[in-house]
Amino acid sequence: MGGAFFVVTMDLALVDMGRSYRLQAQSVLGLLWLQTHFAPESWDLLCSGRVRLNGTSRQSLCTDAMAAGLRVSCLELPRPVVG
């Protein structure tokens, strides 16, 4: 008898690139939401995952998207402690 499993997928992902965050749509819902929040001339960049955000913009986008009910991966990579 096979076991069932549940996979949670994200709608948007913000990938930590060091000094910026790459924005990637992970679902059709995520892409549609992005298209309603960005100008049409940005859509090619959004679809291809070539949009980068600074930390303030990342936080604002995460807050807005989660308030709209999207599942967002917006975790930062741990930074090394220098000391």
Render pLDDT for 9-27 as a digit per residue (tens, 0 to 9).
899 999 998 889 999 999 9
Range(s) of the domain holding residue 25:
19-73
Structure confidence at residue 83 as a pLDDT band (50, 70, 90): low
19 touches 57 (CB < 8 A): no
Is 9 within a domain? no
Nearest-CA neighbor of 58 among 68, 48, 73, 47? 73
**Domains of the chain: total:** 1
Q: For 3-13, how does the pLDDT look when each residue is reduced to its tens digit (9 = 90+)?
A: 666 666 899 99
User: What secondary structure does DSSP assign to 37-74, as a single string?
Assistant: HS-GGGHHHHHTT-EEE-HHHHHHHHHHHHHTT--EE-
Within-domain flag for 10: no
In a domain, 39, yes or no: yes
Q: What is the pLDDT of residues 58-75, one digit of tens each?
A: 999 999 999 999 999 977
Q: Residue 52 pLDDT > 70, yes or no? A: yes
